[in-house]
Structure 1
Amino acid sequence: MTSEGSSTQPDADAPSVLISVTDGVARLTLNNPRRKNAISLAMAAAIDAFCDRVTDDHTIGAVVVDAAGQYFCSGADTRDLATSSSDPASPEAVSRTSAVYGAFVRVGSLPVPTISVVVGGAVGAGLNLALATDILVTTPDSVLDSGFLARSIHPGGGHLSLLGRAVGWSTTIALAACGQSLTGAEAVANGLAHAAVPAEDLPALVAGLTGPAARDPELTRRIMTSARLELGPPAVSWSSALEIERGVQMWSMSRKGQQAWSSRGPKQ
């Protein structure tokens, strides 16, 4: 089933990534549950293509990233990692890892709010994907795990930076260098996740986040542009933020028009 509770089990010939757009909300569903949605090169390419579609389609105002089955993502496909480990400095190995991590960067750079829905757990590159989104929602008992240390490899894909911007130095080191993990409830307490609710409550939570963003995609995209400019990293000063916001706020006020401010509504 998907991470929001539908009950279809994909067959062997099903696409490894499912894509849909409904009412201004684009959804990307990892569809490799037999391998706990481990991300293959084909899946990375599909994620990249999905990001192209979202960027180009200005009717899309929000993105949801979730997964089929009972586990969000166990990381990069170990078969690709094993192949790369035979000659990690080769152009082919670099290309493989770059393709996976590059797909996450695309998700993290989308012009609309992105929400990852983590059920079961997210490990390694799977956690990178979740942290690449703007908002992470999960269940209280899901496990968020750096995972690289357990495999005796150094973190990749900007993992330390993604953790650090969410939880700061101490918790980043606890996770990445000391092998600790967080439950969904602990992730919320540490600022890694936005909310942790039972799986059956996730659809309503996600709809509450995506609905307002999707109703006015043009405004939402402009807010996201300003947020990325202001918050970075690196963040800008308050005075710089004022100037970033000034012009686009004037645009939104012009679009709204004087009559729309009336408590009696616009004149007929």
Structure 2
Amino acid sequence: MTAASDELVRLHAENGVATVTLNQPERRNSLSMALLEALSEVLEQIAGDGNVRVVVLAAAGKVFCAGHDLREMRKQFDSHDFQLRLFRQCSKVMQQIVNLPKPVIARVAGVATAAGCQLVASCDLAVAEKGARFATPGVNIGLFCSTPMVALSRNVSRKHAMEMLLTGELIDAARAEQIGLINRAVEPEALDETVYGMATTIAAKSGHTLKIGKEAFYKQLEMPLAHAYDYTANVMAENMQANDAREGISAFLDKRDPDWQHK
């Protein structure tokens, strides 16, 4: 599964890992309507591909993603309908990432600002090079980062999220790791090794189990404690009926490698 290099979003899959690359470096990979629609289509394609177990979200060029395309937005200043469609399309893509039945790892090189920072926060895991920078700078241009706030506030504490949203200032990768926006900040030469090492480790697991776990993780977060335990008890009981759970437990007890069937 490979998309052409002139696509807005490139797609390459190998050994259970799909790499999705934002491919508009000359536009700082800004999230225009066209790019958002292309990204949505690729995510939908991946969702139905049983050979893909992990997704890496990357970007071409020196900027991961500069957020929305402000030039496109300015051309549509007087169209409330366009602005609403744009933000709804962006929200759809972010929810597709969260609801995708495969873990998504952000590979961040360069700057991720506004909706680009939202993109990082929406991924399940994120690894950035130490030179990466992050911000939600909408407040600086009179457009508060309200939709990026949804993903940001679900990944870092309230005060850290509010500091980013109210000041609009850039933070470095070390700070992003400290507050939980990313998992790791690594040297640039170690970025791919770290990202794909993580992806390979995850891809070696049962795809069915990963799907169950990711879905349950996000659902239980929104529940009161007692409801979360009741829900996850049912999830685990159901999970026990899966072929891969029976195979995994048997393989562990028999001291052998499991033979996943991904079901």
| Aligned match for 1:42, one of 28, 34, 38 | 34
TM superposition score normalised by structure 2: 0.87
Instruction: Give 1:183 deviation, angstroms.
Output: 0.5
The worse-fitting range, judged by mean Cα deviation, of 112-121 and 205-214 is 205-214
Instruction: Give 1:190 deviation, angstroms.
Output: 1.0
Q: Residue type matched to 1:84 in 2? A: Q
1:191 aligns with 2:180: yes
Deviation per CA, 1:29-74: give whole Å up to 9, x if none. 0111112111222111111111111111122111111101111000
Structure 1 pair 232/36, CA: closer, same or farther in 2 (3 Å)? same
Structure 2 CA distance for aligned equivalents of residues 79 and 253 of structure 1: 51
Q: In structure 2, what is the equivalent of residue 147 of structure 1? A: 137
Instruction: Give 1:234 deviation, angstroms.
Output: 6.8
| Aligned match for 1:240, one of 231, 242, 250 | 231
Deviation per CA, 1:213-264: give whole Å up to 9, x if none. 2233222222222222323477743343233222203424323464662237
Deviation per CA, 1:59-108: give whole Å up to 9, x if none. 21111111011110001111221123233x2x233223322332222122
Contact 2:137 2:167 in 1 (8 A): no
RMSD between superposed Cα atoms in Å:
2.2
Q: In structure 1, what is the equivalent of residue 71 of structure 2? A: 79
| Higher RCO (C-alpha 8 Å, min separation 6) | 1
Q: In structure 1, what is the equivalent of residue 201 of structure 2? A: 212
Q: In structure 2, what is the equivalent of residue 5 of structure 1? A: none
Instruction: Give 1:171 deviation, angstroms.
Output: 0.9
| Aligned match for 1:14, one of 6, 11, 15 | 6
Q: Give the gaps of 5 or more residues in structure 1.
A: 1-12
Contact 2:127 2:184 in 1 (8 A): yes
Q: Give the gaps of 5 or more residues in structure 2.
A: 259-263
Structure 1 CA distance for aligned equivalents of residues 251 and 19 of structure 2: 36
Contact 1:230 1:244 in 2 (8 A): no
Number of residue-to-residue matches in the alignment: 251
Q: Residue type matched to 1:28 in 2? A: V
Q: In structure 2, what is the equivalent of residue 126 of structure 1? A: 116
Contact 2:118 2:149 in 1 (8 A): no
Structure 2 CA distance for aligned equivalents of residues 265 and 45 of structure 1: 41
Q: Residue type matched to 2:195 in 1? A: V
Percentage identity across aligned positions? 22
Contact 1:58 1:218 in 2 (8 A): no
TM superposition score normalised by structure 1: 0.85
Instruction: Give 1:208 deviation, angstroms.
Output: 1.9
| Aligned match for 1:57, one of 43, 49, 52 | 49
Structure 2 CA distance for aligned equivalents of residues 231 and 213 of structure 1: 22
Structure 1 CA distance for aligned equivalents of residues 248 and 241 of structure 2: 10
| Aligned match for 2:87, one of 83, 92, 97 | 97
